[in-house]
């Protein structure tokens, strides 16, 4: 029901940045190689995400807006080895229940247009479309005034959108991303697969030059990525991006381990810029902790923190600091 969708929306769709995140993750799951995001008025006027992925077959389009309709998990056991970013089948119905959503999609042939207003499909028609999917969200939270009031300033909401897009771009160097806000381009990556190039695009070429590659592994975990040298620090931890099996995560202990790897080489209250990709058996991680999937439970976490700390420490020891 629309009411159940709106309740779920409270968890999944907190703010414009959550909409961007869910739509972009769907585009990634659909094997897109290029994802373009266009936002107006910090997402409150409009959010459009265009991808060149698989598209949705006409007969599946209405289903995509139904709660717990996911094409990504067919077996309960799949829950334990989730590879796709989405699997709960909650995002589209949740977004649609609190906004006006237009979807145009094609799997290659004649496409489909679906117009959904406040959770109700008001139009389903054939449409000319190239392969891929385009979703436009307008009037976000128009029917949930309380939610609108809870939002921060337009500048803060835009910063959250930029932040999430940048972290996703860092997670997928092989996908070309662009983010345009009110006609101004904020992020563009080439999709050529080079993480250092993505870092340069986001944090600047000068910063990227002051970062070094790290590599470490043990039988259970592999960590790779880039960390800044101690000369390049920031006053906040938010320049540390942790990716677990391609998924951007929040984890205080892992960030702390990374910082600990600097030993005393960072001043108090200063943090590195870092992008750390962790690869591990999906069976050893539980991503189904929270609807946004940014919090995860990792078995053998102490072993992983040790690996991160020593890998960073040993790499920095090779530099003449
Ligand atoms: P989930 O991602 O958890 O499966 P969503 O509500 O986000 O659930 O999406 C519902 C379904 O709609 C997906 O399982 C997928 O089949 C389809 N879908 C959504 N966005 C796209 C897209 N950009 N390209 C292809 N299919 C999509
Ligand atoms: Mg999804």
Residue nearest to atom 12 of ligand 1 (CA): 64
Q: Please state the atom number of ligand 1 nearest to the C-alpha of residue 71.
A: 14
Q: How far apart are CA 185 and CA 67, in angstroms?
A: 34
On whether both 141 and 41 belong to a single domain, the answer is yes
Are 258 and 308 members of one domain? yes
Ligand closest to CA 72: 1
| pTM reported for the whole predicted model | 0.88
Residues 163 and 210 in one domain: no
- Residue ending a domain, among 188, 222, 248, is 188
pLDDT tens for the chain, residues 1 to 321: 777 777 766 677 899 999 999 999 999 999 999 999 999 999 999 999 999 999 999 999 999 998 875 666 555 555 445 556 765 678 999 999 999 999 999 999 999 999 999 999 999 999 988 999 999 999 999 999 989 999 999 999 999 999 999 999 999 999 999 999 999 999 999 999 999 999 998 998 999 999 999 999 999 999 999 999 999 999 999 999 999 988 888 899 999 999 999 998 888 899 999 999 999 998 888 776 666 667 788 989 999 999 999 999 999 999 876
Clarify whether residues 184 and 207 are in a common domain.
no
Residue 73: what pLDDT? 57
Whole-number pLDDT of residue 51:
98
* pLDDT at 290 (0 to 100): 66
170 and 208 together in one domain: no
ipTM score of complex: 0.99
Same domain, 235 and 177: no
Do both 11 and 120 map to the same domain? Answer: yes
Residue 140 shares a structural domain with residue 243: no
Supply the pLDDT for residue 84. 67
61 CA to middle of ligand 2, Å?
14
Q: Which atom of ligand 1 is nearest to the CA of 55?
A: 25
Residue that terminates a domain, selected from 188, 222, 257 = 188
Question: Which residue's alpha carbon is at the smallest distance from atom 21 of ligand 1?
Answer: 26
> Measuring from each residue's beta carbon to the nearest atom of ligand 1, which residues come in under 6 Å?
22, 26-27, 30, 51, 53-56, 64, 69-72, 86-92, 133
How far, in Å, is the centroid of ligand 1 from the Cα of 26?
A: 5
Task: Let me know: does 123 contact 114? Beta carbons within 8 Å.
Answer: yes
Report the pLDDT value the prediction gives residue 79, as an integer from 0 to 100.
45
DSSP conformational letter for 83:
-
Rounded to the nearest whole angstrom, what is the distance from the C-alpha of residue 307 to the centroid of ligand 2? 32
CATH number where 253 lies: 3.30.230.10
Of 188, 219, 247, the residue that ends a domain is 188
Residues 316/261, Cβ–Cβ less than 8 Å: yes
Residues 169 and 84 in one domain: yes
Position 12 scores a pLDDT of 78
Alpha carbon distance 66, 317 (integer Å) = 54
Residues 161 and 70 grouped into a single domain? yes
First to last CA, the chain: 61
Domain enclosing residue 225, as ranges: 196-317
- Based on the fold, state whether residues 113 and 143 are members of the same structural domain: yes
- Whether 80 and 160 map to the same domain: the answer is yes
Ligand 1 atom nearest to CA at 27:
23
CATH of the domain at 46: 3.30.565.10
Domain count, the chain: 2
Question: Distances from the Cα of 28 to the Cαs of 11, 85, 134, in angstroms?
Answer: 21, 8, 13
């Amino acid at each position: 029901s629309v009411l159940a969708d709106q309740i779920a929306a409270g968890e999944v769709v907190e703010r414009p940045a959550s909409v961007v995140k869910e739509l972009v993750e769907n585009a990634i799951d659909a094997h897109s190689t290029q994802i373009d995001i266009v936002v107006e008025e910090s997402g409150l006027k409009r959010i459009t995400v265009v991808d060149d992925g698989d598209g949705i077959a006409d007969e599946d389009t209405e289903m995509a807006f139904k709660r717990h309709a996911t094409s990504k998990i067919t077996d309960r056991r799949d829950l334990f080895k989730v590879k796709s970013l989405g699997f709960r089948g909650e995002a589209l119905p949740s977004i649609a229940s609190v906004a006006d959503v237009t979807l145009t999609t094609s799997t290659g042939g004649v496409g489909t247009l679906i117009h959904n207003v406040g959770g109700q499909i008001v139009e389903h028609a054939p449409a000319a479309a190239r392969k891929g999917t385009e979703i436009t969200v307008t009037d976000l939270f128009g029917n949930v005034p309380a939610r609108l009031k809870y939002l921060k300033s337009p500048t803060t909401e835009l910063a959250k959108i930029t932040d999430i897009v940048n972290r996703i771009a860092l997670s997928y160097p092989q996908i070309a991303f662009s983010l345009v806000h009110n006609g101004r381009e904020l992020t563009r990556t080439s999709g050529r697969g080079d993480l250092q190039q993505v870092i340069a695009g986001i944090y600047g070429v000068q910063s990227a030059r002051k970062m070094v590659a790290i590599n470490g592994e043990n039988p259970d975990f592999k960590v790779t990525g880039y960390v800044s040298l101690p000369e390049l620090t920031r006053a906040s931890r938010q320049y540390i991006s942790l990716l677990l099996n391609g998924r951007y995560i929040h984890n205080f202990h892992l960030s702390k381990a990374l910082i600990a790897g600097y030993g005393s080489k960072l001043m108090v209250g200063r943090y590195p810029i870092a992008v750390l990709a962790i690869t591990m058996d999906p069976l050893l991680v539980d991503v189904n902790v929270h609807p946004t999937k940014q919090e995860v439970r990792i078995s053998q976490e102490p072993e992983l923190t040790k690996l991160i700390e020593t890998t960073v420490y040993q790499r920095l020891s090779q530099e003449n600091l």
